[in-house]
Structure 1
Amino acid sequence: MSEEGMAEDAAHLAGIPDAFQRLWTPHRMAYIQAGPEPLRDECPFCEAPKHPDAERLVVARGETAYVLLNLFPYNSGHLLVCPYRHIATYDQATPEEVAEIGALTQTGMRVLREVSRCDGFNLGMNQGAVAGAGVDGHLHQHIVPRWASDANFFPIIAKTKALPQLLGEVRESVAAAWPKPDRD
């Protein structure tokens, strides 16, 4: 059989032809195979700070809270600000945790604006499973960068997000741009 014939035959291997275009993202298989809860027995936000920053996508650490990339981002650069303490809701946070979560959120916005040239942000906390929290036992604030041109048909029609950068690349650029604390 000629190569051309093989290509024609291969076109029929997928089953009945349809009008769908395929977006192949084999790097996402790691997330799919991990299942809905990559850390089933431990809280991912309690575990992350115990490991090297690059391994768990941590970009900055404070005294009472830290910042990491979302493993399942809505957009490239989607950050999470988490207290180190395992608390479920904002009203359980101490005044120090509230202040640092706020300060880290502001810094995260400034850094994302610098490294990604985003046009705006979505900020939010989903508290409790009923409110949409994927990890409902550990408080976390979302910082989602937005661009005037980031809307396309993928999320609306195909329930798919096209992310132009790998998580490791985003973590490197955000961590490198994060202001270093003054230590006396």
Structure 2
Amino acid sequence: MSSEPIEQAGVGVPDNFQRLWTPHRMAYIKGENKPSGSGEGDGCPFCEIPKMPDEDGLIVARGSAVFAVLNLYPYNSGHLMVVPYRHVADYADLDEPETAELAEFTKRSTLALRKASGAQGFNIGMNLGEVAGAGIAAHLHQHVVPRWGGDTNFMPVVGHTKVLPQLLRETRALLADAWPAS
């Protein structure tokens, strides 16, 4: 085999297209930092994040049974997840205090996102199990995705790219400041 680079037609040729490179997404695509198994000690990021300072773990708020954290691979700016501290995969396995606080933090997430970013609507839900689309199926987490009128522009449809106008640390700080008191 030749060690010379393979030429690819069109590479470097002006074609009037703008390109947004998102190399940070490769970590998600390749499954980097994805747990190696389903146990609590198998590299679960949702078990590790609460051990970090809030800024490093992108934690917006902490409760006694759950915490709210920004998604590293957001669908929209401000995409939060409400996560129980306990390593549990199924919603039916939550105890009553966990269930109640998960619901309360979901409600507070919407209030904080409305206050901090003027969110006009939300997609809220869980993917339970890998077949349902859970990226980390072993540790339950509820998504809270803010939405705005017109936020479905051409980029996701044509370019398969989301444009996020703010760095995650800045978003975390805004939402932490807007988080409602209990």
Q: TM-score if structure 2 supplies the norm length?
A: 0.85
Return the structure number with greater helix share: 1
Query: In 1, Cα distance between the equivalents of 2:72 and 2:27?
Result: 14
Partner of 1:22: 19
Paired with 2:44 and 2:16, the residues of 1 have a C-alpha distance of 42
Give me the whole-angstrom Cα distance separating, in 1, the residues matched to 2:45 and 2:170.
21
Q: CA RMSD in A?
A: 2.0
Counterpart residue identity of residue 138, structure 2: G
Partner of 1:10: none
CA distance in 1: counterparts of 2:63 and 2:98, whole angstroms: 10
1:74 matched residue in structure 2: 75
1:88 pairs with 2:110: no
Partner of 1:111: 112
Using the TM superposition, give the Cα deviation of residue 17 of structure 1 relative to its aligned residue in structure 2, in angstroms. 4.1
Structure 2 partner of 1:36: 31
Classify the secondary structure of the residue corresponding to 1:76. coil
Percent of aligned pairs with the same amino acid: 52
Runs of at least 5 residues in structure 1 that lack an aligned partner in the other structure: 1-12
Distance (whole Å) between structure 1 residues aligned to residue 117 and residue 65 of structure 2? 27
**Aligned ranges 1:1-184 → 2 under 5 Å:** 14-25=11-22, 29-33=23-27, 35-40=30-35, 41-181=42-182
SS in 2 for 1:142: strand
* Partner SS, residue 115 of structure 2: helix
1:176 shift after superposition: 1.2
| Matching residue's letter, 1:22 | R
Q: Does the residue aligned with 2:89 lie in a helix, a strand or coil? A: coil
| Equivalent position amino acid for 1:32 in 2 | M
Please report how far the alpha carbon of residue 36 of structure 1 lies from its aligned counterpart in structure 2 after TM superposition: 1.8
In 2, Cα distance between equivalents of 1:128 and 1:178: 30
Q: Residue 20 of structure 1: CA displacement?
A: 3.1
Query: Retained in 1: the 8 A contact 2:82–2:141?
Result: yes
Alignment length (residue pairs) = 167
- Structure 1 position 38, deviation (Å): 2.2
TM superposition shift of 1:148: 0.3
Aligned counterparts of 2:49 and 2:34: Cα–Cα separation in 1: 10
Q: Give the AA of the match of 1:20.
A: F
Answer whether contact 2:33 2:43 (CA < 8 A) is retained. Answer: no
What SS does the corresponding residue of 1:97 show, helix, strand or coil?
A: helix
Name the residue aligned to 1:8.
none
- Paired residues of 2:111 and 2:180 also in contact (CA < 8 A): no
**SS at the partner of 2:100?**
helix
